[in-house]
Amino acid sequence: MKKLIAGNWKMNGLASSLAEIVALKGLTGSTACDIVVCPPFTLIDRAVDQVEETNISIGAQDCHAKVSGAYTGDVSAEMLADAGARYVIVGHSERRLDHGEDDEIVAAKTAAVHQAGLIAIVCVGETQSERNEGRAIEVVGEQLRGSIPAGATASNTAIAYEPVWAIGTGLVPTLEQIAEVHLSIRRLLVDALGADGRTVRILYGGSVKASNAGEIFSVANVDGALVGGASLKATDFAGIISAAG
């Protein structure tokens, strides 16, 4: 399966940061992976201009579930498509925890992404206390079942397993823990989507960097990565991309 490597810039990036996308083009021209950069909304259309005719796509970090209306400050998936985005991250733990987004909201946003003809990267992951209680597989399964709407396919959806305790902390699960959760996600996807569930890409996210990416990519059912901090600098992000082959 072609790996998908997505960078989430979070609330970082000014016009000057577009130079990182320009540099990334020079560093990743020959990769076989699908590469996505998700800058803040304000940079999306300018970022799109930079990646024409390259293997890099531009994504967004969130969207509203509705197409339009009286939702001050929100951005719809249709607007993102209009700006040239191809992917949208939905259900990131920072949205789930800081903005109270539950599985129902995430499923509605994912459906909106599909409706707009874009690809959803749906995030799931357990907290530290849920892992300590031995509930990681159960929590991730429940989130996944609740967050994937009817109409999800391998072409319009990727899943990102992001243990909350590994995001931005430098902590990474063992390869065995990653393998166990990714296998459980694969089984659930096959149950829910049939044969298509075999080819939905399952990304790992949480403190991925160039030095640990190779071993993470060697784990069964790891089909790419969602990268936060290490996606901000082209050289760091390119190191992860080259580890994916």
Catalytic residues: 92, 162
Residue 108 sits at φ, ψ, to 5 deg, of -65, -40
In the complex with ligand PEP, the residue whose CB is nearer, 78 or 122, is 122
Which CB, 67 or 97, lies closer to ligand PEP? 97
| Long-range contacts, stretch 189-196, CB < 8 angstroms, 24+ apart | 189/144, 189/159, 192/145, 192/148, 192/152, 193/152, 193/153, 193/154, 196/153, 196/154
C-beta of 211: minimal distance to ligand PEP in Å? 13
Distance CA 30, CA 228 (A): 23
Nearest to ligand PEP of 170, 194 (CB atom) = 170
Tell me, rounded to whole angstroms, the distance of Cα 210 from its chain centroid.
17
Site of interaction with ligand PEP (CB under 6 A): 8, 162, 167-168, 205-208, 226-230
Nearer to ligand PEP, 31 or 212 (CB): 212
Smallest distance, Å, CB 209 to ligand PEP?
8
Measured at CB, which residue is nearest to ligand PEP?
228
Retrieve residue 67's tokens.
């197409």
- Residues 179-195 as b or e (16 or more Cβ within 10 Å = b): bbbbebbbebbeeebee
Q: How far is the CB of 235 from ligand PEP (least distance, A)?
A: 16
For the bound state, the minimum distance from the C-beta of residue 10 to ligand PEP, rounded and expressed in Å, comes to 6
